[in-house]
Amino acid sequence: MRRILFFASLGLTLCSLASASNSSNIYPLIQNVPGRELQSLDGTWKYILDLYELGFYNYRMDEDRNGWFRDAHANRPEDLVEYNFDTAPTLHVPGDWNTQKEDLLNFEGNIWYRRQFECHPDAGKRRFIHFDAVNYECQVYLNGRKIGVHEGGFSPFNIEITDRVQDGTNTLILKVDNRRRLEGVPTVNTDWHNYGGITRQVNVISVPKVFIRDYFIQLKKGTSNIVAGWVQMDGAGNSTVTIEIPELKVKQQVSTDADGYGTFEFKCKPTLWSPDNPKLYAVKLSSDSDCVEDEIGLRTIETRGKEIYLNGNKLFCRGISIHEEAPLRPGRAWSKEDAAILLGWAKEMNCNFVRLAHYQHNENMIRTAERMGLLVWSEIPCYWTIQWENEGTLETAQEQIDAMIGRDKNRTNIIIWSIANETPISEPRNLFLRKLADKVRSMDDTRLVAAAMEKKELQGGVMTLDDPMSKYLDVLSFNQYVGWYDGLPEKCDRVHWEFSEDKPVFISEFGGGALQGYHGPENQRWTEEFQADLYRHSVKMLENMEGLSGCTPWILTDFRSPRRVLTDIQDGYNRKGLISDRGIRKAAFYIMKDWYGSFK
């Protein structure tokens, strides 16, 4: 089993998850973490580098010495303890270890973290430790006892500590292993830096014994005036939950069954969320024991033939792809400030859409985009050559879909769930991805399902998408690099695109690289002039593409990648960004800005 493993007693929580009448809608996540009572564990953590995994596979079996998770101390001069968190160096959390310490830039392996925190148990409350992401495998210990294991570098998870936390000082220790693995999701071969560590926020969540664990509130598919969804209580069944949207004069009661699960549906006349008017409604859910508040938008999304419609109006997605690379500083992005800068650059480019590639991004990014009026493509890292016939790999990918939809299903700006990127066609791969597509639709039928596929060139300069997965997806979405990996920019003028299916066409990647500040003739690779010329030819090609409903060129900013080794040009960065890693716009940025501006 690769699921989150809970070693602590979860009581009624686990029972309710296992026996819920609609178990496909129940996840081991607490919905709307920012809306809960939180104790932040962000800040300075002690760490010890463990190349040989001595702290885990300790050869000494003496109980007082075995395992670094015990945080042992030498109490007598003659005591032998060969590690000491008290005197160890520190790392900041959230943060990757690679860019905080020069000698850890390319480190892949094990690091042990320790954070001590104060807690005073309350008989009326339950507590969970919530991690928004730890890359990649994380083993969690509290006060010397293992309480959980999680696999997946971009997925949130929480572990109940109600019966493990003690009054006063508590010691939380994590063994974090970011080594790439063949059976993992993603696998060993990627085109981004493998940032290790506790890369996103950590909180202790306090909730009542019986609490509102999860809920889903969106417009019913095919309607613009019927809100539908469900609510899941945790700790007891047969409850009554009241849903209030004061601005819409809505006050709806929901009765839950013996497993704590209840559905609802009611009519209203909302102002629909859109990029031009990102309207969010204050929503309050309350029961006899709990209350949680959220901000939720309402909108419709659908396809009709070769077009995408938002709120009944034809939509062209003026997009850009974005990696979770911090702006103006090295490392992973995670904060509201990071999100505001990155998404502000997208808005400056006249974007109404962002593709958050190639994994689930942090919650600050999703919520900031929602408030700024940016539509979102959200993706799991099913990337390139996944082990398609490995059942464990499939299970890991499905769990990442659980986490992606589980956390973000109430964020109305997400209109596309993406299940893969550039995966080579084979029957095992097709079966794998069909199962992922089926899972997405079983969890959420209100959004579109896509994958970034690859184009095919036929005879006579004809380009198309020839992928059996296109029959199972809602848009014909694919990456194409005509003019960069496929010929020179002028080839864009000579190709013709044909598609056999009556679905919207979406170019999920195109573009080419340039070193910001490097200038020369238009035919010289890596210059800003070459990249700008490529974008001019690409835009002209896209304008002639029948059924084009959107695009997300690759990519907003330069980002670190060990695959990119060209000295004095790449130097460990993928240079396809329209903005440099120092925040300086390249010439191609303005070409996209002007083109997107012509749609307004």
Q: Quote the number of domains for the chain.
A: 3
Q: Are residues 454 and 492 in the same domain?
A: yes
CA 309 vs CA 303, 313, 354, 504: distances in Å = 6, 5, 17, 10
Q: Are residues 281 and 417 in the same domain?
A: no
pLDDT at 81: 87
Examine residue 24 and state whether it is found in any structural domain, yes or no.
no
Tell me the pLDDT tens digit for each residue of 479-530. 999 999 999 999 999 999 999 999 999 999 999 999 999 999 999 999 999 9
pLDDT at 62: 47
Beta bridge partners of 264: 229
- The band of 3, judged by pLDDT with boundaries at 50, 70 and 90, is very low
> How many Å apart are CA 13 and CA 3, to the nearest integer?
16
At 25, give phi and psi (nearest 5°).
-100, 5
Tell me the pLDDT tens digit for each residue of 68-104. 999 988 889 998 888 999 999 999 999 999 999 999 9
296 — alpha (psi -120 to 50), left (phi > 0) or beta?
beta
Q: Are residues 57 and 190 in the same domain?
A: yes
Q: What is the CATH number for 89?
A: 2.60.120.260
At 262, give phi and psi (nearest 5°).
-150, 145
What is the share, in percent, of the chain residues with pLDDT greater than 70? Answer: 94
> How many Å apart are CA 460 and CA 341, to the nearest integer?
44
pLDDT at 436: 98
Examine residue 13 and state whether it is found in any structural domain, yes or no.
no
Examine residue 23 and state whether it is found in any structural domain, yes or no.
no
Whole-number CA gyration radius for the chain: 25
Domain that includes residue 79, residue range:
31-208
Residue 2 scores a pLDDT above 50:
no
Examine residue 14 and state whether it is found in any structural domain, yes or no.
no
Residue 558 scores a pLDDT above 50:
yes
User: Which residues are CB-neighbours of 475 under 8 A, at least 6 positions away?
Assistant: 303, 308, 416, 448, 450, 503, 504, 505, 506, 549
Q: Are residues 409 and 380 in the same domain?
A: yes
Q: Are residues 144 and 92 in the same domain?
A: yes
Residue 460 scores a pLDDT above 90:
no
Residue 64 scores a pLDDT above 90:
no
Which of 64-73, 150-159, 214-223, 334-343 has the weakest average pLDDT? 64-73
Looking at every residue in the chain, the average pLDDT score rounds to: 93
pLDDT at 26: 27
Examine residue 432 and state whether it is found in any structural domain, yes or no.
yes
Q: Are residues 244 and 202 in the same domain?
A: no
Q: What is the CATH number for 240?
A: 2.60.40.10
Q: Are residues 504 and 403 in the same domain?
A: yes
Other beta carbons less than 10 A from residue 9's beta carbon: 11
Task: Taking residues 366-373, report their average pLDDT.
Answer: 98
pLDDT at 80: 86
Residue that finishes a domain, picked among 299, 320, 351: 299
Q: Are residues 503 and 518 in the same domain?
A: yes
> How many Å apart are CA 44 and CA 202, to the nearest integer?
12
- The band of 14, judged by pLDDT with boundaries at 50, 70 and 90, is very low
- Picking from 96, 85, 80, the residue whose alpha carbon sits closest to that of residue 172 is 85
- The band of 58, judged by pLDDT with boundaries at 50, 70 and 90, is low
Residue, of 54 and 356, whose pLDDT is higher? 356
- Coil, helix or strand for 286? strand
pLDDT at 66: 66
- The band of 65, judged by pLDDT with boundaries at 50, 70 and 90, is low
Q: What is the CATH number for 416?
A: 3.20.20.80
Examine residue 367 and state whether it is found in any structural domain, yes or no.
yes
Q: Are residues 523 and 566 in the same domain?
A: yes
pLDDT at 21: 29
Task: Taking residues 462-466, report their average pLDDT.
Answer: 97
> Which pTM was predicted?
0.94
Task: Taking residues 568-581, report their average pLDDT.
Answer: 98
pLDDT at 148: 92
Residue that finishes a domain, picked among 208, 232, 247: 208
> How many Å apart are CA 292 and CA 214, to the nearest integer?
10
Tell me the pLDDT tens digit for each residue of 181-238. 999 999 999 999 999 999 999 999 999 999 999 999 999 999 999 999 999 999 988 8
- Coil, helix or strand for 20? coil
pLDDT at 85: 97
Residue that finishes a domain, picked among 299, 316, 344: 299
Examine residue 7 and state whether it is found in any structural domain, yes or no.
no
Q: Are residues 97 and 203 in the same domain?
A: yes
Q: Are residues 378 and 473 in the same domain?
A: yes
Examine residue 335 and state whether it is found in any structural domain, yes or no.
yes
pLDDT at 478: 98
pLDDT at 18: 32
Q: Are residues 87 and 128 in the same domain?
A: yes
pLDDT at 459: 87
Return the ∠ at Cα 334 (arms to 89 and 200), rounded to 5°. Answer: 55
